[in-house]
Copies of this chain bind each other. A is one copy, B any other.
Amino acid sequence: MTSSPHPSVCLGIDVGGTNIKTGLVAHDGRVVASTVRPTPQGPEAALAVIAEMFDGLLRKANVRREEVLAAGIGTPGPLSPSKGVVYRCANLDGWVNVPIRERLAARLHLPVVFDNDGNLAGFGEYWAGAGGRFGDMVALTLGTGVGCGIIIDGRILHGHHENAAETGHMIVERHGRPCPCGQRGCLEQYASAAGVAKRAREEIEAGAASVLRERAGDLAALSSRDVAAAAAAGDALCRRLWQDACEYLAVACVNLQHLVNPRRIVLGGGLAESGDALLLPVREAFTRFRWNLADDYPEITRAVLGYDAGMIGAAGWAWETLARRAS
């Protein structure tokens, strides 16, 4: 992007089911260069693609290899940040017990930090997005599921089993909808993009009236965007499902307030693309549901980094880890 002298950078890598994103990110969160490539089959091929992408980024940004201080990589889990191992990856075949941190470090000749994609997307928003690097924060990514990162004192909350911040599986309805995880009434059954679309499909298949019924031949392709658009146009079914999503998100915000007491809760992902159509009813329901014993309410805002949050957060977590080791 520029051929003028740079400050040092860290490499951020976000491995998803569809794409791998990489970027060179400065200490202030500025993305110096970034690239996207389709995710190949298996971890070996992915490591080769990442190495190529890294070379491409150095050329593209005219950055010398010595100016890259460290790399951060995020993947779906389950995984262990402390051991640097991916146990399995949802949506990624062939990723079984991969010592990803060690293997990436050997390939790139860089120190590597590793964490799950939800945690790093949350850290990205804290470090370079809606969090402003200040105060405890929770980021919710409302996509296929509900991804989450919880940041406390500038650190990712991992928990004893390194599986904290699975907020998508908070039970918000005791005898609610079954979730593939084995529970009932999980938040992501009501308030993920996929969950909203699925509820609409099921209700229409069961005979509910809706403007979306005319798509009956292609109900499988119905998305949360369709539900949002129909709700905005006054469709009763879609308005009810949308309001439900917002109210369950508000319950989750109340519960996060009382457990973690963050300064901000940041909403991102597909469902948040609706902007104020999501944010305003979530805030309205939160104001209706919340307590009045203390004025300790989180601000509920929209995420700002979009689909770069995981890549930026991976680089940011590498920066933070370097800073912590140096101090």
Contacts and interface: CB of A to CB of B under 8 A. Distances in A.
Given A136-B160, A159-B260, A261-B158, A170 B255 contact: yes
Given A78-B294, A254-B183, A291-B181, A261 B162 contact: yes
A203 interface: no
A310 B262 CA distance: 25
Contacts of A219: none
Nearest to A168: B258
A160 B135 contact: yes
Contacts of A222: none
Most central of A181, A183, A263 by chain B CB within 10 Å: A183
A55 interface: no
Given A136-B160, A161-B263, A161-B295, 8 more contacts: A136-B159, A165-B259, A165-B261, A166-B259, A171-B255, A184-B289, A255-B259, A256-B259
A308 interface: no
**In the complex this chain forms, how many copies of it are found?**
2
Interface string A225-262: 00000000000000000000001100100111011111
A118 to B, nearest CB: 12
A292 interface: yes
A179 B293 CA distance: 11
Closest 8 CB pairs of A and B: A159-B261, A161-B296, A164-B261, A160-B263, A182-B292, A181-B291, A166-B258, A163-B296
Nearest to A298: B160
A67 interface: no
A183 B261 contact: no
A157 interface: yes
A172 B185 CA distance: 11
Chain A interface size range = 35 or more
A301 interface: no
Interface in A278-310: 289-296, 298
B182 A251 contact: no
Nearest to A291: B181
A199 B285 CA distance: 27
B256 A289 contact: no
A162 B260 CA distance: 9
A152 interface: yes
Contacts of A295: 161
A25 interface: no
Given A260-B157, A260-B164, A261-B158, A293 B174 contact: no
A85 interface: no
Given A181-B291, A254-B171, A254-B183, A261 B78 contact: no
Contacts of A260: 157, 159, 164, 259-260
